[in-house]
């Protein structure tokens, strides 16, 4: 199977949900929440895409970089690339039950492992977390992302993640107003600093805080004990008129790089997108919507093919910008 075959199958499987546009600029899927699109006008999702496109590389070809090192070590794991699967869940709500929730989670987790990286599993209304955690149990490795619920419930779910073999746990605080959760009647809300400290103190696992978009809150999260921060606007799925994530990443990196692991997401579709995020300060990136395409178009094999494609594109982009390793990537490879 080739990646092109995966896309063809995904296009059929996701008909009416995602158009798999040749250019995934998020213009065709505004207001598709629940679903795979952006909230409201879709401006935040579009801004992620446009911010990435606004960056330009300096191409360099007079050098001896032929085999760039794209390996990274995060959360005590040696990863084949600086790419992690984002927590994509809600098969019934977002994908009209066209795939079983457990099968969707397994495709993400096992596809990532077969490619030499790891994936996140998601949380949601009802028994969704009980289903996605099954995939993590079976793999014995992955990251559990939990919605910003009441503190005691979040800690209960952290215990489930620990028992399942998670290498880290996280809270997607950018889901504080997520429409899917609100409609279900289940509580989600902002996370106080006191609650964040208690969460970090409740487990020996690294705690990831996903949904940071300002330098101020990045510092607050790091000071409170967060082992990692994800610069994210939830894929443009929670609030209109937010900036593209990569546009705020350099400022955040200047405040917390080296103190907490710095991850980011928002519009990643290619290996060159990955390189731009690394250049702007991320230690690794999360990829979401393309993982959905991989899962629906080819199960765990489709997801594996996605990661292999991204890795190949990343290596080529590094060769053409004279980057010997991920550790040596900097903003100097971008046009000022």
Q: pLDDT (tens digit, 9 = 90+) per residue, 189-240?
A: 999 999 999 999 999 999 999 999 999 999 999 999 999 999 999 999 999 9
Confidence category of residue 140, pLDDT binned at 50, 70, 90 = confident
In whole angstroms, what is the distance from residue 125 CA to residue 147 CA? 10
Average pLDDT, the chain: 95
Give catalytic residue positions: 234
Predicted pLDDT at 36: 86
- Terminal C-alpha separation, the chain: 40
Confidence category of residue 143, pLDDT binned at 50, 70, 90 = very high
CA distances 233 to 72, 99, 237, 238, 274, Å, are 24, 26, 7, 7, 17
Closest CA to 209 of 37, 236, 220: 220
pLDDT digits (tens, 9 = 90+) for 35-54: 888 889 999 999 999 999 99
Domain ranges of the chain: 72-324
pTM of the model: 0.96
DSSP code of 69? Answer: B
**Residues above pLDDT 90, as percent of the chain:** 90
Give start and end residues of each alpha helix (H) in the chain: 3-13, 43-53, 91-95, 101-114, 128-139, 151-164, 179-184, 193-201, 215-223, 245-256, 271-279, 289-319
Pick the CATH number of 72-324 from 3.20.20.140, 1.10.3720.10, 3.90.650.10, 3.20.20.70: 3.20.20.70
């Amino acid at each position: 199977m080739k990646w092109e075959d995966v896309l063809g199958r995904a296009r059929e499987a996701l008909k009416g949900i995602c158009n798999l546009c040749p250019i995934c600029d998020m213009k065709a899927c505004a207001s598709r929440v629940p679903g795979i699109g952006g909230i409201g006008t879709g401006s935040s999702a579009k801004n992620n895409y446009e911010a990435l496109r606004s960056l330009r590389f300096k191409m360099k070809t007079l050098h001896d970089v032929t085999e760039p090192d794209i390996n990274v070590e995060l959360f005590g794991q040696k990863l084949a690339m600086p790419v992690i699967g984002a927590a994509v869940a809600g098969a019934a709500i977002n994908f009209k039950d066209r795939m079983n929730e457990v099968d969707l989670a397994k495709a993400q987790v096992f596809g990532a492992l077969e490619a030499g990286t790891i994936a996140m599993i998601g949380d949601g209304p009802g028994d969704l977390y009980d289903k996605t955690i099954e995939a993590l149990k079976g793999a014995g490795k992955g990251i559990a992302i939990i919605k910003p619920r009441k503190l005691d419930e979040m800690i209960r779910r952290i215990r489930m993640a620990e028992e399942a073999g998670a290498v880290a746990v996280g809270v997607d605080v950018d889901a504080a107003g997520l429409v899917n959760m609100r409609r279900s009647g289940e509580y989600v809300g902002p996370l106080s600093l006191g609650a964040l400290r208690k969460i970090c103190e409740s487990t020996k696992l690294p705690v990831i805080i996903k949904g940071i978009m300002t330098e101020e809150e990045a510092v607050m999260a790091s000071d409170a004990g967060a082992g990692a921060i994800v610069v994210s606007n939830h894929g443009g799925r929670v609030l209109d008129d937010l900036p593209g994530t990569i546009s705020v990443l350099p400022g955040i990196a200047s405040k917390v790089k080296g103190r907490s692991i710095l991850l980011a997401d928002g519009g990643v579709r290619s290996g060159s997108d990955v390189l731009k995020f690394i250049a702007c300060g991320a230690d690794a990136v999360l990829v979401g919507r393309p993982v959905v395409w991989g899962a629906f178009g080819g199960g765990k094999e489709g997801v594996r093919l996605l990661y292999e494609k991204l890795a190949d594109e990343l290596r080529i982009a590094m060769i053409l910008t004279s980057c010997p390793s991920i550790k040596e990537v900097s903003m100097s490879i971008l046009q000022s």
